Structure 1
Amino acid sequence: MLLTTIQFNAVLDALEQILPFTAPADVCMSRLFREHKKLGARDRSAVAENVFGVLRALPKLKWIAGEEAGARLWLLAFHAAVEKRTMKELATFYREDQLELAKKWKAVNLAEAPLAVRAGFTQWIVDALHAEGRSNDEILAIGHGLGQSAPLDIRANLLKTKRDTLLEQLRAEHFVAEPTPYSPWGIRLGAKPALSRHPGFLGGLYEVQDEGSQLLALISGVRRGQMVTDFCAGAGGKTLALGALMQSTGRLYAFDVSEKRLANLKPRVARSGLSNVQAQLISSEHDQKIKRLAGKMDVVLVDAPCSGLGTLRRNPDLKYRQTLVGVGELNNKQASILASAARLVKVGGRLVYATCSILESENSVIVDTFLATHPEFERMDVRTLLSKERVELELAGPDLVLNPQQHGTDGFYAAVLQRKPLQAQVLESEATEELEESAAANDADEESGEAVAVEEVVASAP
C-alpha cells in the first residue's frame, strides 16, 4: 500500500530517531506515536511496517546505497530494491536525482552480495555462527527466517476461558484467528490487530505471547499446589503462563532485578486472575532472599538475559545494538544465574534454562558446562516431555531448539534439567569412588611393575 504524506514523514522521523541505535526501536516508536497524536491506527500500522521493514533489510540497504547514505536514501533503497515499488509510486516522495538512483538500485543483483548481506545479518553474527560450525546455507536459512515479519500469537488464559471458546469469540468479532500448531493454548491472529483496548485483553482472557514461549511453560511440568520460581521474571509473560497451569494454587515466586519490570507485572497479574504470584525484587542472583528458599522449589525457570537474536523478526535493531563482546559478558552472567537458581531446586525437581537466542554459546554451551560441574543434575529429553503432553514437535536433540523457518516461532532454546533422586546420587557417587579406587590400584600395580623392572635391570648390569 502506498504511503500517505503524513505516514511517509512519520517513517523518516522514526528512522532518524532509531538509526543511531542508542535506544530500542520499540521504545522510539512508542515515543514517536505519543508525539504524533494525529496518527490513527492505520497510520501507525503503515509507519511501523515500513520502519521495521527497513531495519530488517538494513544490511542489504547499506550494501546497495552505501554505509553513510542515511535514512531517506535507505528508505528509497527499501522501496525500490526490496519492495519493488514502481517509478510512478516512488515519484510521489522522491526527487528526480533520487529517482535516477532508484532505477540503478532496482537492477542490483543481491545474489552477488556478501553472505552477511544476503542473510540480513551484521558480520559479527555471521562470524559467530561460522565459529559454531554453521554452514553458509544454514546461516542463509536462519537469516531468511528471522528476516520475516513475525505473526501475532496470543495465549488463552485457561483460568478464565478455553481456547475454542476464545476462538469463537474472536471470529465472531471478525478477527482472523487460528490455533497455533503446537501450543494447546495458542491462537495466531492475522493482520496484527491492535489489542491493548480489546475487551478480551482487558478482561484477562488472553495474553500476547509467542508460541515458543508458551511451550516453555508446558515442558516445565508445573502442577497444582507446587512451589515454583520464575527466576528472571521480567514483565511476567511466562510467570502468567506458569500460574495458569498451576490453577492459581501453590506458590509462584517472580524474581527480577528491575523494579520497573515487576511494576509492569502487577496489572497483568490482576487481569489474569492469579492469586498465587509473589513478585520480589532482588539485587542480584546472589540475593539473600534466594538463599532462604534453597532446596524448596519443585520447578525453577531461568529465562536468562541474552542477546535476543532469536527475536530479530520483532526486534531487528538488536543485530546492531548487540556485539560479540556483549555476548561474552552475557555468557558469564548466564552461567552465574543458572548456578544460583539451581540451589533452589529440591530433589527430583526441575530446572529449566531458556533463552531467545540462536547462538550455542548462550544455549547448549552454558548447559553443558553447568552439567559438567553439577553431577547432581541430569538432562531430560524434551521430546519425551512434549510427547506426554500430546505435542508432536520435530526436534534434532533432547533440548527445545525452535526457529522461525521450521517451526514458525521466534528463535528459541530451552533445556530441562532434573535434580537426581538422592538414591541415584548415592549410587553414582559410589560408582565414581569405585572407579577412582580401581584406577588408583591400577596405577599402583603399574608403579610396582616398573620398580621391579628397574631392579632387574640394575641387578643384571655389569
Structure 2
Amino acid sequence: MRLPPAILGNAEEVLREILRFTAPADVTLSRYFKDHPRLGGRERGAIAECIYAVLRNKTFYTDFAGGATMRRLVLMGMADAIGAESLGGLTEEETAFVARIQEIDRSLLPPRQRANLPDWLYEKFVAQYGEEETQQLAAVLNTPAPLDLRVNSLKADRDKVIEELATAPIKAEPTPYAPLGLRVWKKPALQNLPLFKEGAIEVQDEGSQVLAQLLGARRGEMVVDFCAGAGGKTLAIGAIMRNTGRLYAFDVSEKRLAKLKPRMARSGLSNVHPVVIAHERDAKVKRLAGKIDRVLVDAPCSGMGTLRRNPDVKWRQQEGAIAEMTEKQASILDGASRLVKFGGRLVYATCSLLDEENDAIVQGFLATHPDFELVPVSKVLAEQRIALEMGDTLKMLPHKHGTDGFFAAVLERKAAAKPAAAEADEE
C-alpha cells in the first residue's frame, strides 16, 4: 500500500528543522507529531524511519542528491526505510532518480563516504581502531538498533516473560551477556502491555545492563548512582540489591530524575532515593563522603556509542566539545570518588567509543589518586558469571557485541592502612 504523497511534504518539513541540529532529533520529531495529530501510526512510522535513514546516511545522500534539496534527501530516506514501491505522487524525474540511487552498490563507495561520519570523528576512529575496523564499526553504527529489555527480577522470571511476550505476539530472545536481558527485533508498543505496566520489564540496552552488574552491589549496602539520569541503571541496581539497603540516585537535572519516579513506582523498588545535586561538589555529596560501599559514575559523554539509536549525535557533536567533556568527566570522577569508603568500589563508565573519554580519564585519575587501584574487569565479569572476553577494562562494541558502545573501569579504594602504633601493639 502506497503512502499518501503529502507525507513526503511532512517529512521535508520536519527534516529541515532537524538538520539545523538545535535539538535532539527524537525531541523534534515528538513535538512535530504532537503538532500534527492527524498523522496516523503508519505515516508517523514512515516519517521517523525516513529521518533516521537521512541522519545515518547523510554523507552519501548529500553527495548523490546533486545539491542537497530536502525533497531529494527525503526521497532517498523513504526509499531506504520503507521501499521505493511505497512512494506515491512522484514525478517521472523523481522516480528515475530513486531507481538510479537504489542501483548503486554502496560497498564500492570510497571509505569516507561509506562510513557516513563527520571527518573529525572518522579520523579519530581510524587513529584508534584502524581503517578496516572503523569500516566494520561504522557499518553497524549506521543500522537501526534492536530493542533490548531487562526483566525485573523482583517481579518476573526471564523464561516466563518470553512466554508471555509470545502471546502478544512479540518474539524475544535472551541476550548473550546480560543475565536478565531480552532482545526484540521489531518495535512493539510496549507501554500497552500488562508486563510493562506492572513493572516486569524495562527498556534497557544490554551493555547498560552489564554495567549495572559490574558494580556488584549487595543486599543492605549503601550505593550511589552518581549520574542517574532517568534511572535505567538505578532500577537495575535496586533489583540486584533485592530492594534492601539505600540506593541514592544523584543527578543535576530535576527533569531527568522526574522521569525516574513513575519507573520506580512500576518497579516496586522502595530503596531508591532520588537526589537533585547542583554539581559534583554539592554539600549533599560531601555529607556522604567515605560512607558509600559502591559508586557508579556513568559520566556525561559524547554519546558516540549510541549512534545506532541517536544518529543525529554525530552531526550535532562538535570536535571542540570533546575537550570540555573530558575536563568535566575528570572532575565528576574525582568528586564521586570521595564518597567511596575504604575497600569500596567505584565504577567509571561512558557510552563513548573514544579513548580520550575512557582510558585516558581512568589513567589520569589513578595517577592523582594513589588510594585507588584498577581491578581487572575480566575478574569482575567472572565473579558475575558473565561470559565476556575482556582485559583490564570493559569495551563493548556494536560490531563485536551487538550492544551500544560502552566503556567501564572498575576501581577500588584500598583498605585503610593500620596506624603504626596499632601494628607495634600486635607485634
Which residue does the alignment assign to 1:279? Answer: 274
Matches within 5 A, 1:216-255: 216-255=211-250
Which residue does the alignment assign to 1:441? Answer: none
Which residue does the alignment assign to 1:327? Answer: 322
Tell me the distance in 1 between the aligned counterparts of 2:77 and 2:153: 43
Matches within 5 A, 1:140-289: 140-289=135-284
Tell me the distance in 2 between the aligned counterparts of 1:267 and 1:79: 36
**Which has the greater radius of gyration?**
1
Amino-acid identity (%): 51
Which residue does the alignment assign to 1:122? Answer: 118
**1:97 correspondence with 2:93:** yes
Q: Alpha-carbon deviation of 1:7?
A: 4.1
| Normalised TM-score (structure 1) | 0.86
**1:350 correspondence with 2:345:** yes
**1:29 correspondence with 2:23:** no
Which residue does the alignment assign to 2:70? Answer: 71
Tell me the distance in 1 between the aligned counterparts of 2:109 and 2:262: 48
Measured at CA, do residues 83 and 265 of structure 1 come closer, stay the same or move farther in structure 2, by a change above 3 Å?
closer
Give the root-mean-square deviation of aligned CA atoms: 2.1
Which residue does the alignment assign to 1:47? Answer: 47
Measured at CA, do residues 197 and 13 of structure 1 come closer, stay the same or move farther in structure 2, by a change above 3 Å?
farther
Q: Alpha-carbon deviation of 1:381?
A: 1.6
Q: Alpha-carbon deviation of 1:70?
A: 2.8
Which residue does the alignment assign to 2:424? Answer: none
Which residue does the alignment assign to 1:373? Answer: 368
Q: Alpha-carbon deviation of 1:77?
A: 3.2
The unaligned stretches of length 5 or more in structure 2 are 421-427
Which residue does the alignment assign to 1:402? Answer: 396
| Secondary structure of 2:164 counterpart | helix
Letter in 2 for 1:289: K
Structure 1, 113-122 or 416-425: larger mean CA deviation: 416-425
The total of aligned residue pairs comes to 420
| Secondary structure of 1:385 counterpart | helix
2:222/2:292 contact within 8 Å kept: yes
Letter in 1 for 2:116: G
Measured at CA, do residues 331 and 104 of structure 1 come closer, stay the same or move farther in structure 2, by a change above 3 Å?
same
1:331/1:361 contact within 8 Å kept: yes
Which residue does the alignment assign to 1:413? Answer: 407
Tell me the distance in 1 between the aligned counterparts of 2:418 and 2:104: 63
Which residue does the alignment assign to 1:422? Answer: 416
**1:302 correspondence with 2:302:** no
Tell me the distance in 2 between the aligned counterparts of 1:55 and 1:424: 58
Letter in 2 for 1:50: C
The partner residue of 1:292 within 267, 274, 287 is 287
2:221/2:246 contact within 8 Å kept: yes
Tell me the distance in 2 between the aligned counterparts of 1:106 and 1:200: 41
Q: Alpha-carbon deviation of 1:111?
A: 4.9
| Secondary structure of 1:414 counterpart | strand
Q: Alpha-carbon deviation of 1:141?
A: 1.0
Measured at CA, do residues 179 and 108 of structure 1 come closer, stay the same or move farther in structure 2, by a change above 3 Å?
closer
| Normalised TM-score (structure 2) | 0.93
Which residue does the alignment assign to 1:62? Answer: 62
Q: Alpha-carbon deviation of 1:257?
A: 0.6
Measured at CA, do residues 223 and 191 of structure 1 come closer, stay the same or move farther in structure 2, by a change above 3 Å?
same
2:46/2:81 contact within 8 Å kept: no
Measured at CA, do residues 2 and 220 of structure 1 come closer, stay the same or move farther in structure 2, by a change above 3 Å?
farther
Measured at CA, do residues 161 and 110 of structure 1 come closer, stay the same or move farther in structure 2, by a change above 3 Å?
closer
| Secondary structure of 2:191 counterpart | coil
Q: Alpha-carbon deviation of 1:48?
A: 2.0
2:46/2:82 contact within 8 Å kept: no
Tell me the distance in 1 between the aligned counterparts of 2:179 and 2:89: 47
Q: Alpha-carbon deviation of 1:205?
A: 1.0
Letter in 1 for 2:260: L
Letter in 2 for 1:14: V
Tell me the distance in 1 between the aligned counterparts of 2:86 and 2:152: 45
Q: Alpha-carbon deviation of 1:100?
A: 4.3
